Structure 1
Amino acid sequence: MSIPEVGEPAPVFSLAGTVVRDGSRTDGVYDLSAQIGRTVVLAFYPGDATPVCSAQLCSYQEELDDFDELGAVVWGISPQALDSHESFARGSSLTFPLLSDPSGAVVRSYGVRAPGIGLRRSVFVIGPDGIVRWRHVGMVGLRFPKAQVIREQIEQLVG
């Protein structure tokens, strides 16, 4: 599938996910269509607890309060299972949901599948109307958009 363009509807999905807060793990189903009215940041990353993925998601964690103040939620998406996500969240002090896409269906629907590594490190900002408002799709797995860049995109939406 092709990568959704800015201005196009975001592919909807439901995925199992987990969040670790105050030492407790809570599993749930995360449905993008249920987020209409909120800005959603989807951060696709290749693997739990790898050096670059840890740097990326920890940088987003540092800005989480700012994202929340702007009415945005952050979801991390990778193919690993929920137990792996829990370990990663605990080890990196991540408090936003990590969603599991073991079949790769959501990765394919966003056009970010990459042979060999599974997926391209990518970030999509979905507006409250369900439309893709900004995207960054990495061609090389070592680069990711900084949290400040994403925050600036969200600020433009709520401006």
Structure 2
Amino acid sequence: MAHQISVFVENKPGRIERVTEILMKADVNIRAITVMGTFEYGVIKLLVDKPEAAYEALKSQGVTAYKREIIAVLMDDRPGGLHRIAKIFGQKKINIEDAYGFVIEDKKRAVLVVDVGKIQEAEKVLKEEGLTILSDEEIYSL
């Protein structure tokens, strides 16, 4: 199982800089990031090499952060790679609440990070379909 850090910030210049500075000083490496802003507030979602250290560093600096279990699934980086996973979830009635992905350096594989309501069921069906679920440690070793 892997973890994502979600940071809630005002939608103003310099907020991402503050978050990344805190993580840099805590010696936390960011593996993936997504930012979503809505009018006054934004959410920064981070996949980091040390989720507990990131969470503690952010909280100690007064930053509103949340650590959440997510699924990081290894997939082929080719047309239809994402569709395979979406189809599995659709057929099993598992809703994808949030998702983002990134390509691994070998450019043959990618990682899809998904947030689903039924996390254990989702992991089970993905494994049954022969897909690899990455742990925190496996993500950081990519």
- Note whether the superposition's TM-score is higher than 0.5: no
Structure with bigger strand share is 2
TM-score normalised by length of structure 1: 0.23
Q: Which has the higher Rg, Structure 1 or Structure 2? A: 2
TM-score normalised by length of structure 2: 0.25
Higher relative contact order (CA 8 A, sep 6+): 1
